[in-house]
Structure 1
Amino acid sequence: MFAELPLAPPTGFRKAIPDLVKLKVVLRQDSLCATCRERLGKLEDTQFDHVPALQLRCWDPEAKNTIPPANDVDSIFAKHVDCHAAKTFGSKASKRGADVTEIARTKRIAKDTEAFRQRMLAKGDPEAEPRPERPKKQWPKRPFQKRGKDEGRRSRGQESSGTAEE
């Protein structure tokens, strides 16, 4: 069947980017920000962005690394602090497409997909525990007002008085 790879690296996985990799990235970009194409400043004012984000990559348990590798020079980009924050957290107007939003969305979809998969496997397995039957929902019962034969003929706006016509 299909080879199953865990969707994301384990909790706490994050390799520090070596200085040699950072230098190669900056030289590859000609010391320009990958987003705004302006000159990068000091190394302290520069952040390195993984594309795609590490939590959106598949995990290879044999290599104990992501696919592509976490510190691959070709999947890291040097950016200004504010340019990196815009990609990671999104703008105030829209969070869609931001790394944090996409990571949460991917985790939610993976959880829902796994729950669906488990339900489908349980349906086909005759030895699985039978699920308890849910009681059928019924419409609420509200009795109609009881009226006499003559009371049913009057129009809505008329109120009945206890006596016959006066």
Structure 2
Amino acid sequence: MREPAPAPPKGFRPHMPIKTKLEAVLINGPVFDSEGHKVCKLEDLDFDHQPPLQMRVWNVEAQDTDPPANDPFYIVPMVRAQHRTKTAKRDIPEIAKTRHLSAKQADFVRSITTRQCGDKRKPSGSIPSRPFPKRKKTR
């Protein structure tokens, strides 16, 4: 049975150097705000990890995510308001759903592996108390 991929430790967020930010801007090209004006100041930008860091697989040997957290090819510069909206509306709920499902999966695997050979399964429900409808007799 395959183990679920390990997630990064909670709160994992390494410092992003200015060199990485500039490389991400060069790779992705100019950034425009909602009115179509080019954003020229680095201070007006946020840098979005795609996929989010908590959705990446943790590499134990490197003590980093896979792909690495500060790889400029997986960082997209965005206007601050757009980045905050994307994070709040899409990334955080997706991360929470993934954690919830992986916890359910781990509980299921634990219940299956602790079963002994010959254990009877518990009935999932009972037969309805109302009988099936009678058919009309045809001649």
Same fold, judged at TM 0.5 (above): yes
| Aligned equivalents of 1:23, 1:51: Cα separation in 2 | 16
Aligned-pair identity in percent equals: 36
Listed as ranges, the matches of 1:75-86 within 5 Å are 75-86=74-85
| Aligned equivalents of 1:77, 1:24: Cα separation in 2 | 10
Task: State the structure with more CA Rg.
Answer: 1
| Aligned equivalents of 2:34, 2:74: Cα separation in 1 | 14
Structure 1 residue 117 displacement after superposition: 0.4
* Contact 1:46–1:78 (CA under 8 A) maintained in structure 2: yes
* Contact 2:27–2:73 (CA under 8 A) maintained in structure 1: no
The aligned residue for residue 105 of structure 2 is 113
Distance verdict in 2 for CA 1:58–1:29, change over 3 Å: same
The two structures have a TM-score, normalised by structure 1, of 0.64
Listed as ranges, the matches of 1:2-151 within 5 Å are 2=2, 5-6=5-6, 8-33=7-32, 39-90=38-89, 98-124=90-116
The aligned residue for residue 130 of structure 2 is none
Structure 1 residue 41 displacement after superposition: 3.4
* Contact 2:31–2:79 (CA under 8 A) maintained in structure 1: no
Structure 1 residue 27 displacement after superposition: 1.4
Aligned pairs, number: 121
* Contact 2:4–2:102 (CA under 8 A) maintained in structure 1: no
What secondary structure is seen at the aligned counterpart in 2 of 1:16? coil
| Aligned equivalents of 2:28, 2:68: Cα separation in 1 | 20
| Aligned equivalents of 2:33, 2:50: Cα separation in 1 | 11
Structure number with higher relative contact order (C-alpha < 8 Å, ≥ 6 residues apart): 2
**Could you list the runs of 5+ residues in structure 1 that have no partner in the other structure?**
91-97, 138-166
